[in-house]
Chain A
Amino acid sequence: MGVLKKLIGLHRILFCAAALLTVAASAANLWWNSFLADVLDMLGAPGRPGMSALLPGILAGGTAILLALAAGDYLSFYAASYTCELSAHEMRMGYARYYLRGDSRMLAGCSAGEEQSAMQNELKDISAYLNESLFSIMKQFVAFAATAVFLAVKSPRLALLSTLPAVPLMLYCFVSGRTIKAYAERCMEYQKKINGLADVLLSMFPVIQVYDAQWLVMGLVEERLSEWGRASVRKERIAARLMSLSGLLSFLPLLCLLGFGGRMVIAGEISTGTFYLFVNLSGNVSGFLQNMPGVYAGFRQFGASMGRLERKLVFEEGRGGEGRNGARRNGAGLSREGRNGVGRDGVERSGAGRNRAGRNRAGRME
């Protein structure tokens, strides 16, 4: 997770802004639900004034919340995406800097194709996680925490009754998530082999053509593909069955809520508005608990991908982005000598003494 820490360190303000906007969007959502419960209670209250009297107040409140919700959603989504994209850019540049700083002997042993493919796959996974999950998890967590507190304040008993069935479901999701992951990992292994084969095929293409080795290669391709195909079918089949069962189990908290909550309404312990609020919001709590194993597994996988990349990402100390501290190419009028030692690209250069080369170039270049 060192990479994530560094990325957050590089764009502290952006990350904070995105997090704050996420919290604000969740707060607006709770505000809307609370308003809705009040409206329902108001409408269901015996001897309430006519709709024409209530309408202006309800409309004004509803419009204000609607605008806040829309703005909150847009801003939080965009801020999160911008932060994640900037982080992905930093990582790509970190990858590039790693190769620039790499030892020639190590680089001579690298296959450019393999490295490119690894970069594309690994960074794609990480940036997809950043974009689709990091802030989304934060949003879910904020919604979960705020909703749990909110519902517990409204009716602790019903909150507990509607949340408890989600706990065994969470355990089930944990176990099924691990099973699916094990299958997925096996699949990934075979996938890697296919990628490696594709790389060999492309780099050896002229040789394959000249020696008419297509059928030899194709035999290898078919063998690897059928291995991967079998693993992939197994994984998909298991995932479909386990996830379907999880969908069925996720009905349990709702059924409990409807059964127990309905009794409480009839007993006059809670209002219909509050009951409706629970029906609307309990999904935030039970859904989060249900997703937790997946979230945890996703986060661990993200951590592992980050860990793998850690040695391959070189960040500029004290700044983000690339080449901001140096002269722009052909623009600043600095000669080659002028830039030696500056480290425009982040490659350390010593500014050791000038000699004949320095003199010559000074005369020639500028």
Chain B
Amino acid sequence: MTVMPSIGWKEGDCFVGDFKRLIKRMGMGRRYVLLLLLRAPFDGARAWMLAALMKSVFRCLEAGEAEGLPEICVSYGILCALLFCYNGTVWSLYAAFAARAEAALRGRLLERILKLGCRQVEARARGEWMTRLGSDARAAFEMMNGPLNIPHAVVAILNTTLSSALLLGGSPLLAGVAWLWILPHLVLHERMVLRAIPGLKEESQRAMAQCTSAIGPLIEEADAIRIYDAGGLLLEDCARHSRSLMAANLGMHRRGALGGMLTRIFGIGGYFSMLLSGALLMEKGCMSFSDVVYCFQVRGSMLAGLFMLIASQGNLRANGVCVKRVNEVLDE
């Protein structure tokens, strides 16, 4: 993938490095990679199938062959059934593996905590421990099996690669136009959205832990609060932490909104440019409408793959922060 360096996964990236470390220490590396690879070709194959279906249908329309349509629909229907059968089998194996891994991770975390000293345990607030044992461990599972995380990222890479090749084969000019919009989009998305996510997520997790801890004194020190009329003070403390959490989350949403806007501008801009370029090619007789539709469809799959990859990267970075925290506990 030529574009990957701009949004790339480097060994040093916390979400790859930390997850790799975690999988290694759980002793599940090989099986995980095998299942991941088995899942990977699904989207690419589906993309090719859809594009070919659309092309065949529009070719029928151009030729005015109404009788060919049912045959096309039935054949692709059968192909689709076989593909989903394969996917269902592999996915169920993968999901079961991920669930087992999560159970093992939680066990390992609890075991590790039991081996720590009192001083180490008390160095962190209870809310912090609960977060690490609960939502952080969950994030590791999400990374392994959640939507728009590692499996989707791998599937998306393969899909994007295959779709790029199909688009290039369909029309090099339209492929060039498509990439002319895709590349700046990726660069801007990386700089304006993705880079900020890990910091904001970490801030959000920290604020969440503090916010949870701030509730404790309202229960534990209830008597002192009533006698000394300290409700306002404690409520203000809760509000401060809650506002920090809100601010950290809003920072992420702001980036998300920005990402959505960029996707709209570059996605529709690219589509529009391709449509006009396709119209010019059709005018010159270099392409038929069914070929243009095929290119649209393949570009759609390529973009879907890329957006999936981008969205997965955001989630992976966010969850990577949690996995890092899980590793911290296991390292203690």
Contact B118 A119 (CB under 8 A): no
Q: Which of B24-32, B107-115, B158-166 contacts A (4 or more CB under 8 A)?
A: B107-115
Q: Assess whether B47 is interfacial by the CB under 8 Å rule.
A: no
Contact A240 B110 (CB under 8 A): no
Contact A81 B280 (CB under 8 A): no
Provide the B124-168 mask, 1 if CB < 8 A to any CB of A, else 0. Answer: 001101110111000000000100000000000000000000000
Q: Assess whether A86 is interfacial by the CB under 8 Å rule.
A: yes
Summarize B's interface: helix, strand, loop or mixed.
helix
Among A117, A195, A263, contact of B69 (Cβ-Cβ < 8 Å): A263
For B131, list chain A residues within 8 Å (CB): 120
Cβ of B319 to closest chain A Cβ, rounded Å:
14
Cβ of A296 to closest chain B Cβ, rounded Å:
19
For A326, list chain B residues within 8 Å (CB): 232
- Given A73-B261, A347-B231, A124 and B135 contact (CB-CB distance below 8 Å): yes
Contact B91 A244 (CB under 8 A): yes
Within 8 A of A (CB), among B55-110: 57, 60-61, 64-66, 69-70, 72-73, 76-77, 80-81, 84-85, 87-88, 91-92, 94-96, 98-100, 102-104, 106-107, 110
Contact B289 A323 (CB under 8 A): no
Contact A221 B107 (CB under 8 A): yes
Q: Assess whether B246 is interfacial by the CB under 8 Å rule.
A: yes
Within 8 A of B (CB), among A64-80: 65-66, 69-71, 73-74, 77-78
Summarize A's interface: helix, strand, loop or mixed.
helix
Provide the A177-210 mask, 1 if CB < 8 A to any CB of B, else 0. Answer: 0000000000000000011011101110110110
Q: Assess whether B173 is interfacial by the CB under 8 Å rule.
A: no
Contact B264 A66 (CB under 8 A): yes
- Given A124-B135, A322-B239, A112 and B96 contact (CB-CB distance below 8 Å): no
Among A195, A201, A244, A339, contact of B84 (Cβ-Cβ < 8 Å): A244
Contact B126 A116 (CB under 8 A): yes
Cβ of B290 to closest chain A Cβ, rounded Å:
10
Residue from B53, B113, B233 whose CB has the most chain A CB atoms within 10 Å = B113
Q: Which of A88-96, A168-176, A286-294 contacts B (4 or more CB under 8 A)?
A: A88-96
Q: What count of chain A residues pass the 8 Å CB interface test?
A: 111
Name which residue of chain A comes closest to B240, CB basis. A322
Among B91, B117, B289, contact of A44 (Cβ-Cβ < 8 Å): B289
Q: Assess whether A359 is interfacial by the CB under 8 Å rule.
A: no
Q: Which of A50-58, A140-148, A299-307 contacts B (4 or more CB under 8 A)?
A: A50-58
Q: Assess whether B17 is interfacial by the CB under 8 Å rule.
A: no
- Given A194-B106, A248-B81, A329-B233, A119 and B212 contact (CB-CB distance below 8 Å): yes
- Given A85-B249, A340-B229, A245 and B88 contact (CB-CB distance below 8 Å): yes
Q: A81-B253, A81-B254, A195-B134 are known contacts; what are 12 more A-B pairs with Cβ within 8 Å?
A: A74-B258, A85-B253, A96-B215, A96-B238, A113-B130, A201-B114, A202-B129, A214-B114, A217-B114, A237-B96, A240-B88, A256-B73
24 CB-based A-B contacts, threshold 8 Å: A40-B275, A70-B261, A73-B261, A77-B260, A86-B246, A89-B242, A93-B242, A96-B215, A96-B218, A97-B235, A112-B126, A112-B220, A120-B208, A124-B135, A202-B126, A214-B114, A218-B110, A226-B103, A248-B80, A255-B76, A259-B70, A262-B66, A266-B66, A345-B231
Chain A residues at the B interface, C-beta cutoff of 8 Å: 32, 36, 39-40, 43-44, 50-51, 55, 58-59, 62, 65-66, 69-71, 73-74, 77-78, 81-82, 85-86, 88-89, 92-93, 95-97, 99-100, 102, 104, 107-108, 110, 112-113, 115-117, 119-121, 124, 131, 194-195, 197-199, 201-203, 205-206, 208-209, 214, 217-218, 221-222, 225-226, 228-229, 232-233, 235-237, 239-241, 243-245, 247-248, 251-252, 255-256, 258-259, 262-263, 265-267, 272, 275-276, 279, 321-323, 326, 329, 336, 339-340, 344-347, 349
Chain B residues at the A interface, C-beta cutoff of 8 Å: 53-54, 57, 60-61, 64-66, 69-70, 72-73, 76-77, 80-81, 84-85, 87-88, 91-92, 94-96, 98-100, 102-104, 106-107, 110-111, 113-115, 117-118, 121-122, 126-127, 129-131, 133-135, 145, 208, 211-216, 218-220, 222-223, 225-226, 229, 231-236, 238-239, 242-243, 245-246, 249-250, 253-254, 256-258, 260-261, 264-265, 268-269, 272, 275-276, 279-280, 282-283, 289, 293
